[in-house]
Amino acid sequence: MSDTSVEVRQRIRELLVDLFNGDRFVGTVSDSVSLREAGVSSTALVSLLVAMEDAFGFEWDDDVQPEVLRSIDSLAGYVVALRN
C-alpha cells in the first residue's frame, strides 16, 4: 500500500471521527467493511461524501458507481486514482 493510500485512508477516518463525534464507533470499522452494513446511515454517508470533496479538493462525478462508495478502501482508491 502506497504512502498516499495510507494517508487518504487516515484522512477519511478522521472525517468519520468528526461526523460521529469520536472514534468509539469508527474504531470498530475496518477499511474493507461495507460502511452501510457497519451502521453508517445514509445521512452520515452523504455528509462524508461532501466532507471528502472539501478535504481532497474534488467533486463527485454524477455517474459514480455505488461500489466506489462501499468502504473506506473503495473511497480511498477513488481518491488515489484521481490524484494519479
Partner 1 sequence: MAAELRVPAGVDPDAVIGCRPVPWPHGPAQQFAAGRRAAAAALASAGSADRDVPRDPDGRPCFPRGFAGSISHTDHLAVAVVVPGAEAVGVDIEDMTVTPRMARFVLRERERRTLLPPVGVFTPRDLFAVKEAAFKAMNGAGALGEFLFWRIELSRSDDALVASYRGEPVPVWVRSEADLSFAVAIRR
Rounded-to-integer distance, Cα 2 and Cα 82, Å? 15
Decide if residue 42 touches partner 1 (CB under 8 A): yes
Query: Considering the rule CB under 8 A, would residue 57 count as an interface residue with partner 1?
Result: no
CB closer to partner 1 out of 3 and 62: 62
The answer to whether the beta carbons of residues 21 and 27 sit under 8 Å apart is no
Q: Which is nearer to partner 1, 66 or 81 (CB)?
A: 66
Positions that interact with partner 1 (CB under 8 A)? 25, 34, 36-39, 41-44, 46-47, 49-50, 60, 64, 66-67, 69
